[in-house]
Structure 1
Amino acid sequence: IDLARSFQKKLLLLVVDIFNFSLINANYGVNLGDRILLAFVEKLKSLCPEAHLIARTGSDEFAIAIFLDKDVKDILHRIEALREVDVKVDDLKVKLFTNIGVAVYPKDAEDGKSLFGKAVVALKKCKEQGRGCYCTYDVSLETEFRTRLSFEDEISLALERGEFLLYYQPIADIKSLKLSGVEALIRWFSPKRGFVSPATFIPIAESMNLMRDIDKFVLKSVQNFLHRLKNSGYSIPSISINLTPSNFDLLEEFFEDKYFIRCINIEITEREVFEVLKYEKVLSDFLKLGGSLSIDDFGTGYSSLSYLSELPVRCVKIDISFVKKMLEDEKAKKIVEAIIEISKTFGIESVAEGVETEEQYNLLKKLGCNKLQGYFYSPPLKEEELVEKFLKPKA
Structure 2
Amino acid sequence: MSPRTIKLLLIEDNPVDSRLLKELLYDAVPGKHNVVMAYTINGAIELMHDHEFDIIVTDLNLPDANDVGIISRIQAINSNIPIVVMSGQADAELALEIVQMGAQDYLVKGQGDGHLINRVLDYSIERKNDLKQLSYLANYDSLTGLANRLLFRERLDRALIHADRSKTLVSLFVIDLDRFKNVNDTLGHDAGDQLLVEVANRLKKCTREGDTVSRLGGDEFTIIMEDLKNTDDVILTADKVLDFMKKPFEINAHEIFVTPSIGITVYPMDEVNAGNLFINADSAMYQAKKSGRNCYRFYKEDMNSHLKVRMNLETKLRRAIERDEFVLYYQPKFNIHNNELIGAEALIRWIDPEEGMISPALFIPLAEETGLIAPITDWVLKKACNQNSEWQKQGYEAIRIAVNLSPKQFNQENIAHRIFNQIICSDLAPKYVELEITEGALVEDVEKSNEILNELKTRGIHISIDDFGTGYSSLSYLKKFPLDTLKIDQSFVRDLMEDSDDAAIVSAIIAMAKSLRFNVIAEGVETAEQLSYLAAHGCHEVQGYFTGRPVPAEEFVQFLVEKTEQPKLKLVQSG
TM-score between both structures, scaled by the size of structure 2: 0.53
For residues 297-321 of structure 1, the C-alpha deviation after alignment (integer angstroms, 9 at most, x for no partner) is: 1111125322221112111111111
2:224 aligned partner: 63
1:113 aligned partner: 272
Q: 1:300 to 1:381 in 2, by over 3 A?
A: same
- Asked if structure 1 preserves the Cα contact closer than 8 Å seen for 2:488 and 2:520, the reply is yes
- Partners of 2:238 and 2:526 in 1: how far apart? 45
- Partners of 1:104 and 1:259 in 2: how far apart? 56
- Partners of 1:148 and 1:382 in 2: how far apart? 28
Larger deviation: 234-243 or 326-335? 234-243
1:255 aligned partner: 420
Aligned-pair Cα RMSD in Å: 3.9
3-state DSSP of counterpart to 1:317: strand
2:356 aligned partner: 194
1:26 aligned partner: none
Structure 1 position 312 matched with structure 2 position 482: yes
Residue 283 of structure 1 deviates from its aligned partner by 2.7
1:78 aligned partner: 241
- Asked if structure 1 preserves the Cα contact closer than 8 Å seen for 2:385 and 2:428, the reply is no
Residue 57 of structure 1 deviates from its aligned partner by 8.3
3-state DSSP of counterpart to 1:310: coil
Structure 1 position 47 matched with structure 2 position 206: yes
Q: 1:79 to 1:164 in 2, by over 3 A?
A: same
Residue 222 of structure 1 deviates from its aligned partner by 1.2
Structure 1 position 289 matched with structure 2 position 459: yes
- Asked if structure 2 preserves the Cα contact closer than 8 Å seen for 1:166 and 1:186, the reply is yes
For residues 270-327 of structure 1, the C-alpha deviation after alignment (integer angstroms, 9 at most, x for no partner) is: 1111247525544322211211111111111125322221112111111111111111
- Asked if structure 2 preserves the Cα contact closer than 8 Å seen for 1:83 and 1:134, the reply is no
Structure 1 position 333 matched with structure 2 position 503: yes
1:269 aligned partner: 438
AA partner of residue 393 (structure 2): N
- Asked if structure 2 preserves the Cα contact closer than 8 Å seen for 1:188 and 1:198, the reply is yes
What is the aligned counterpart of 1:347 among 514, 517, 527?
517
Q: 1:306 to 1:163 in 2, by over 3 A?
A: same
Larger deviation: 69-78 or 213-222? 69-78
- Asked if structure 1 preserves the Cα contact closer than 8 Å seen for 2:204 and 2:213, the reply is no
3-state DSSP of counterpart to 1:372: strand
- Asked if structure 2 preserves the Cα contact closer than 8 Å seen for 1:251 and 1:282, the reply is yes
- Asked if structure 1 preserves the Cα contact closer than 8 Å seen for 2:265 and 2:277, the reply is no
2:368 aligned partner: 206
1:370 aligned partner: 540
Larger deviation: 66-75 or 215-224? 66-75
Residue 252 of structure 1 deviates from its aligned partner by 1.4
Q: 1:318 to 1:110 in 2, by over 3 A?
A: same
- Partners of 2:205 and 2:236 in 1: how far apart? 20
For residues 47-104 of structure 1, the C-alpha deviation after alignment (integer angstroms, 9 at most, x for no partner) is: 245x9x7247897743137866699699535235369999xxxxxxxxxx99764236
- Partners of 1:54 and 1:74 in 2: how far apart? 11
2:52 aligned partner: none
2:173 aligned partner: 15
Residue 171 of structure 1 deviates from its aligned partner by 0.6
- Partners of 2:417 and 2:281 in 1: how far apart? 44
Between the aligned residues of both structures, percent identity stands at 33
- Partners of 2:248 and 2:271 in 1: how far apart? 27
- Partners of 2:224 and 2:294 in 1: how far apart? 16
- Asked if structure 2 preserves the Cα contact closer than 8 Å seen for 1:121 and 1:142, the reply is yes
3-state DSSP of counterpart to 2:466: strand
1:301 aligned partner: 471
3-state DSSP of counterpart to 1:313: coil
AA partner of residue 271 (structure 1): G
- Asked if structure 2 preserves the Cα contact closer than 8 Å seen for 1:212 and 1:247, the reply is yes
The 5 A counterparts of 1:137-152 are: 137=299, 141-152=303-314
For residues 179-208 of structure 1, the C-alpha deviation after alignment (integer angstroms, 9 at most, x for no partner) is: 111001111011122111111001111222
Q: 1:331 to 1:127 in 2, by over 3 A?
A: closer
- Partners of 2:532 and 2:563 in 1: how far apart? 31
Structure 1 position 223 matched with structure 2 position 388: no
- Asked if structure 2 preserves the Cα contact closer than 8 Å seen for 1:99 and 1:133, the reply is yes
- Asked if structure 2 preserves the Cα contact closer than 8 Å seen for 1:171 and 1:373, the reply is yes
The 5 A counterparts of 1:96-175 are: 101-103=262-264, 110-111=269-270, 113=272, 116-117=277-278, 118-123=280-285, 136=297, 137=299, 141-175=303-337
- Asked if structure 2 preserves the Cα contact closer than 8 Å seen for 1:103 and 1:116, the reply is no
Q: 1:80 to 1:147 in 2, by over 3 A?
A: farther
Residue 16 of structure 1 deviates from its aligned partner by 4.4
- Asked if structure 2 preserves the Cα contact closer than 8 Å seen for 1:14 and 1:100, the reply is no
- Partners of 1:310 and 1:331 in 2: how far apart? 28
What is the aligned counterpart of 1:324 among 494, 517, 523?
494
- Partners of 1:379 and 1:138 in 2: how far apart? 41
3-state DSSP of counterpart to 1:15: strand
AA partner of residue 272 (structure 2): K
- Partners of 2:366 and 2:329 in 1: how far apart? 21
3-state DSSP of counterpart to 2:554: helix
Return the structure number with greater strand share.
1
AA partner of residue 78 (structure 1): V
- Asked if structure 1 preserves the Cα contact closer than 8 Å seen for 2:450 and 2:482, the reply is no
3-state DSSP of counterpart to 2:464: strand
Residue 173 of structure 1 deviates from its aligned partner by 0.7
2:549 aligned partner: 379
Q: 1:12 to 1:359 in 2, by over 3 A?
A: farther
For structure 2, the residue ranges without an aligned partner over 5 or more in a row are: 1-168, 178-196, 250-257, 566-575
- Asked if structure 2 preserves the Cα contact closer than 8 Å seen for 1:353 and 1:373, the reply is yes
- Partners of 1:334 and 1:98 in 2: how far apart? 29
3-state DSSP of counterpart to 1:306: helix
Greater relative contact order (Cα < 8 A, sep 6+): 1
Residue 224 of structure 1 deviates from its aligned partner by 0.9
- Partners of 1:127 and 1:394 in 2: how far apart? 50
- Asked if structure 1 preserves the Cα contact closer than 8 Å seen for 2:453 and 2:481, the reply is no
